[in-house]
A and B are shown apart, each in its own frame.
Chain A
Amino acid sequence: DIQMTQSPASLSASLGETVTIECLASEDIYSNLAWYQQKPGKSPQLLIYYANSLNDGVPSRFSGSGSGTQYSLKINSLQSEDVSIYFCQQNYDSPWTFGGGTKLELK
């Protein structure tokens, strides 16, 4: 199974700040990487697919990058509505595994 290691597990940042969340795959997943945002009590929402493609309706302050085994999600100019848990997921091979999540809070 492909293991997805996400860091940090939690993050505290100020409004307007730029934050970065990392995701490391245990083997090359050839950019088959998605990022999700889950707000409290809600279903996850797809933010980024194929490592760097922004899903429809997602604000442009979100961006994804990476290749091989290393990927990152960047949020520019943090807004209050970005307080959420963020998950990465590899879509390269079954079982389609998720990272452990990063809880983003406001400082």
Chain B
Amino acid sequence: EVQLVESGGGLVQPGRSMKLSCAASGFTFNNYDMAWVCQAPKKGLEWVATISYDGSSTYYRDSVKGRFTISRDNAKSTLYLQMDSLRSEDTATYYCARHSLSGYGYWGQGVMVTVSS
């Protein structure tokens, strides 16, 4: 059974950093591109970043370029999102998802990040 389990969320002050993790199991992690998708409270879904199966390519939405870094450790089957210079508008639930050309077939349960002083 495919499982994606996020961790690392919480309350953080504006301008500070936070690192999210997503532990994957039930599939061959290093065969798949992975993504982070966020959802602000009571709002829609927004793609944040994607990393290729081997980590060689990364893609970001414009609003997080230069502030967020997606990475992965295939030996640990774990996906990461390093979030720096956080802003109040980054407040959202962050989901990790298995990325494919047909869509996101598997999602984690999500982790809440609140950016507030």
Q: Which A positions have Cβ atoms within 8 angstroms of B? A: 32, 34, 36, 38, 43-46, 49-50, 53, 55, 87, 89, 91, 94-101
Tell me the residues in window 96-114 of chain B with beta carbons closer than 8 Å to chain A beta carbons.
100-105, 107-110
> What per-residue 1/0 map shows which CB atoms of B57-82 lie under 8 Å from chain A?
00101100000000000000000000
Max chain A Cβ within 10 angstroms of own Cβ: one of B47, B95, B109: B47
Q: A94 near B59 (CB under 8 angstroms)? A: yes
**How far in angstroms is the closest Cβ of chain A from B40?**
12
- Number of contact residues on B: which range applies? 20 to 34
**Given known contacts A36-B104, A95-B47, A96-B47, what 13 new A-B pairs fall within 8 Å (CB)?**
A32-B101, A34-B104, A36-B103, A43-B95, A46-B105, A87-B45, A89-B103, A89-B104, A91-B101, A91-B103, A96-B35, A98-B46, A98-B47
Residue of A32, A43, A101 near B110 (CB, 8 A) is: A43
Which chain B residues border A95 with CB–CB below 8 Å?
A: 47, 59, 61-62
Establish whether residues A50 and B50, one from each chain, have CB atoms under 8 Å apart when the complex forms. no
| Dominant secondary structure at the B interface | strand
Contacts of A44 in B (CB 8 A): 45, 95, 104, 107
User: Which interface residue of B45, B62, B101, B103 has the most chain A CB atoms within 10 A?
Assistant: B103
A-B contact pairs, 19 of them (CB 8 A): A34-B102, A34-B103, A34-B104, A36-B45, A36-B104, A43-B95, A43-B110, A46-B103, A46-B104, A46-B105, A49-B102, A49-B105, A53-B102, A55-B105, A87-B44, A94-B50, A95-B62, A96-B35, A100-B44
